[in-house]
Structure 1
Amino acid sequence: MSQDPTDVDVLVVGGGQAGLAAGYYLRRAKLDSAILDASTVPGGAWQHYWDTLRLFSPAAYSSLPGRPMPHQAGQTYPDAAHVVGYLAEYEKRYELPVHRPVQVRTVENSDGDGLLVRTDSGSWRARALIMATGTWSRPFIPALPGRGSFAGRQVHTRGYRTAADFTGQRVVVVGGGNSGAQIAADLAGHAAAVRWTTLRPPRFLPDEIDGRALFEIATRRVTGDGPRISDLGDIVAVPPVREARDAGRLTAHPMFERMEPDAVVGEDGERWPCDAIIWCTGFRPALGPLTGLGLRGGGGRIPTDGTRALADARIHLLGYGDWTGPASATLIGVGRTARTAVNEIAGLLR
């Protein structure tokens, strides 16, 4: 006999920074809730980042609601391990109802006006749902001619850990965003040669802009005031990136158009032999469990008003970037959209 579903007012799928911010506001709203996290330990995607990754902002400007991130000794910009410790302490401090490891399989309409969420360890029934799964589980690599024939190592950002793994190798880094710039800079001095390739010339933000300034810019954009971040640039010039750029070790080359077993080949036929390719080509939202609800619009994206799915007011998407709220994919920015989402859900349930 199957076990009856566990009933809650609000179910949060994902126990990273977005899920914890939602949990904080759900607790304050006194809504019965649970957070389902696929990971075995706290920390969200931060537990998987490469060793030298640093936040864009000092700890004081990288906090979730209610609890300032403590300073990391000897570091102006905290590393990923410090963030993992902070998130673990955060969920413990607020006694957030995190259940792990739980893999959510499907979200379906239940009897009445509820949602039935099926997982690998039982079912849940909720009156509203916050998807906070992020993107880490869905890395994107473009389909290029010859990619399957390349005999060297191919690693996505998701699998990059340390530059020492590529010591003495000729490495191509693909991607003109922050990850591409940071990893290309990280490899300098370890790899025998690094070729950074981008679809368009990289645009560095002014050196004085860090995560705090980005959040302030995003905040002004809520009311339509001031420039968009994308108007200013794409890459935050954190100290290692700035140092590599100023030393001439971070020069971008046009994107290659095809691959061979031991090289990449540009549009002009130039061949660059390499041993490894690191794809810093981004991620896609991990929203597979919602597939059966028919929420997607044109282009495959779920249309939203803020965080709320237009096709179903019971469902909110939190932490997927500007699509679901300015700066909502950042530690400092997700709190604002989490508060708004929980306020809307509380109003709906009342």
Structure 2
Amino acid sequence: MSPFKEPLVIIGGGQSGLAAAHSALAVGLRPVVLHAGTEPAGSWPDYYDSLTLFSPARYSSLPGLALGGDPDRYPHRDGVVAYLRRYARVLDAEIHTRTRVVAVHGRADGGYLVRTAAGDELSAAGVIAATGSFGNPHLPSMLGQAEYAGDLRHVAHYHRPQAYAGKRVVVVGAGNSAVQVAYELATHARTTLATREPVRLLPQRIRGHDLHHWLHVTGADRLPRTVVTRLVRRAAVLDTGRYRDALASGALCRREMFTAFTSDGVLWRDGTAEKVDAVIFATGYRPDLDYLTPLGVGRNAPRQVGGVSTTHAGLAYLGLEFQRSFSSNTLRGVGRDAAHVMAAVVAHVHGRRVSRRWWPR
């Protein structure tokens, strides 16, 4: 039982928030998870239907509970959702769903006041911002985009290829999601993958083992961002060979990124205008941290080192891309990051030992 009357408030109930709760319990803190969604499964239920993990199950678990089943399988979206539900059930943590945090304020005594959309106020000994980035998809702004009358969306709002049957579709991006979505769309629609550079493919299996086996045994999965960014200059797509074959055969067409939108399509770099029914941007996400605005924290680039805030003691982040390593915002890496940031948070909390009423009656 935690000796602290105020809880550690964890904002976000997905993989990052659940990993944070596990780590908080391990160091004797009392975590309270506030999640805007209807269940503690993060953004996973909203991903596109065919999504599968790029890492095998044996490397894709949170601390304390294995995914189970065949360790060499690549879990489907629905399997991950079921796993997160199970993980939340076995955690001895207080989890509030349908509880959207709208603001976090600092207090003079070093604690925090967390406000929800329902008007409740919660006093906290520390705060973990674990909302990740899915709620803030990055949609680039291009010439003519406002006048385009077709279906324009981010891949965060794409679900299945059948809705595009018989249509002309352009998918923008050179990462795993872009290629996976374009590949499956190509069997239902006339699809082009638009990228600024040729797609870089990495073999999924090397010498009989999945790539993640080698990342694990060599320690490359834990290399710090400064090292990884020197070694990896641009995004790469894991491939069993099907994407390579599809691109080589023309079953999946790749073209250099278009330069502008027209009212009913796009303008390609060679000056050709083409009518396009839909454009799907798979152009990544940015941190979703609007609720930290009262603290003066930047929404897209919070000041932190390894997830520990450099501006506010007792504030930490989880689920940021490359927070500490290549695997930081993944199921296989967020647990390590949670343990790392918790050391700083517990030191802050131990230095305060305040006793306050923390949830309004």
User: Same fold by TM (over 0.5)?
Assistant: yes
Matches within 5 A, 1:158-237: 158-191=156-189, 193-208=190-205, 210-214=211-215, 218-222=220-224, 230-231=232-233, 233-237=235-239
Name the aligned partner's letter for residue 52 of structure 1: S
After TM superposition, give the deviation of residue 300 of structure 1 in Å: 5.8
CA distance in 1: counterparts of 2:229 and 2:156, whole angstroms: 31
Name the aligned partner's letter for residue 257 of structure 1: T
Residues 180 and 68 of structure 1: CA distance in aligned 2, closer, same or farther (over 3 Å): same
- For 1:287, the equivalent position in structure 2 comes to 289
After TM superposition, give the deviation of residue 16 of structure 1 in Å: 0.4
Residues 317 and 304 of structure 1: CA distance in aligned 2, closer, same or farther (over 3 Å): same
The SS at the match of 1:332 is coil
Detail structure 1 runs of 4+ shifted over 6 Å in the superposition: 223-227
Can you list the C-alpha shifts for 1:245-273, whole angstroms capped at 9, x where unaligned?
45432342111111112220023212222
CA distance in 1: counterparts of 2:61 and 2:311, whole angstroms: 32
Q: Any conservation in 1 of the 2:171–2:279 contact (CA below 8 Å)?
A: yes
Can you list the C-alpha shifts for 1:12-37, whole angstroms capped at 9, x where unaligned?
00000000001111111120120000
- For 1:3, the equivalent position in structure 2 comes to none
- For 1:22, the equivalent position in structure 2 comes to 20
The SS at the match of 1:272 is strand
Q: Any conservation in 1 of the 2:224–2:324 contact (CA below 8 Å)?
A: no
Q: Any conservation in 1 of the 2:201–2:244 contact (CA below 8 Å)?
A: no
- For 1:35, the equivalent position in structure 2 comes to 33
The SS at the match of 1:87 is helix
Residues 309 and 227 of structure 1: CA distance in aligned 2, closer, same or farther (over 3 Å): closer
Matches within 5 A, 1:82-121: 82-121=79-118
Q: Any conservation in 1 of the 2:178–2:282 contact (CA below 8 Å)?
A: yes
- For 1:48, the equivalent position in structure 2 comes to 46
After TM superposition, give the deviation of residue 340 of structure 1 in Å: 0.8
After TM superposition, give the deviation of residue 244 of structure 1 in Å: 3.2
CA distance in 2: counterparts of 1:330 and 1:48, whole angstroms: 16
Overall identity of the aligned pairs, in % = 34
CA distance in 2: counterparts of 1:248 and 1:212, whole angstroms: 32
Residues 25 and 199 of structure 1: CA distance in aligned 2, closer, same or farther (over 3 Å): same
Output the TM-score relative to the length of structure 1: 0.90
After TM superposition, give the deviation of residue 202 of structure 1 in Å: 1.9
CA distance in 1: counterparts of 2:167 and 2:107, whole angstroms: 54
After TM superposition, give the deviation of residue 140 of structure 1 in Å: 1.4
CA distance in 2: counterparts of 1:223 and 1:280, whole angstroms: 22
CA distance in 2: counterparts of 1:247 and 1:22, whole angstroms: 46
**1:262 has 2:264 as partner:** yes
Residues 188 and 336 of structure 1: CA distance in aligned 2, closer, same or farther (over 3 Å): same
The SS at the match of 1:196 is strand
Name the aligned partner's letter for residue 196 of structure 2: L
After TM superposition, give the deviation of residue 98 of structure 1 in Å: 1.2
Residues 254 and 214 of structure 1: CA distance in aligned 2, closer, same or farther (over 3 Å): farther
CA RMSD of aligned residues (A): 2.5
Q: Structure 1 residue aligned with 2:78, among 72, 75, 81? A: 81
The SS at the match of 2:314 is strand
Name the aligned partner's letter for residue 321 of structure 2: G
- For 2:307, the equivalent position in structure 1 comes to 307
Unmatched segments (≥5 aa) in structure 2 = 351-361
Q: Any conservation in 2 of the 1:179–1:280 contact (CA below 8 Å)?
A: yes
CA distance in 2: counterparts of 1:77 and 1:31, whole angstroms: 34
Q: Any conservation in 2 of the 1:39–1:102 contact (CA below 8 Å)?
A: yes
- For 1:4, the equivalent position in structure 2 comes to none
Residues 295 and 274 of structure 1: CA distance in aligned 2, closer, same or farther (over 3 Å): closer
Can you list the C-alpha shifts for 1:44-71, whole angstroms capped at 9, x where unaligned?
1111111111111221111001111022
CA distance in 1: counterparts of 2:183 and 2:225, whole angstroms: 36
Residues 227 and 170 of structure 1: CA distance in aligned 2, closer, same or farther (over 3 Å): closer
Name the aligned partner's letter for residue 21 of structure 1: A
Can you list the C-alpha shifts for 1:191-240, whole angstroms capped at 9, x where unaligned?
1x111101222211234264454566544524987886625852122565
- For 2:358, the equivalent position in structure 1 comes to none
The SS at the match of 1:313 is coil
After TM superposition, give the deviation of residue 275 of structure 1 in Å: 0.8
CA distance in 2: counterparts of 1:134 and 1:28, whole angstroms: 22
Name the aligned partner's letter for residue 12 of structure 1: I
Residues 226 and 181 of structure 1: CA distance in aligned 2, closer, same or farther (over 3 Å): closer
Q: Any conservation in 2 of the 1:59–1:77 contact (CA below 8 Å)?
A: yes
Q: Any conservation in 1 of the 2:183–2:252 contact (CA below 8 Å)?
A: yes
Deviates more, 1:163-172 or 1:248-257: 248-257
Q: Any conservation in 2 of the 1:221–1:227 contact (CA below 8 Å)?
A: no
Can you list the C-alpha shifts for 1:132-168, whole angstroms capped at 9, x where unaligned?
0011111111111111211211121111110111000
Unmatched segments (≥5 aa) in structure 1 = 1-6
Name the aligned partner's letter for residue 281 of structure 1: T
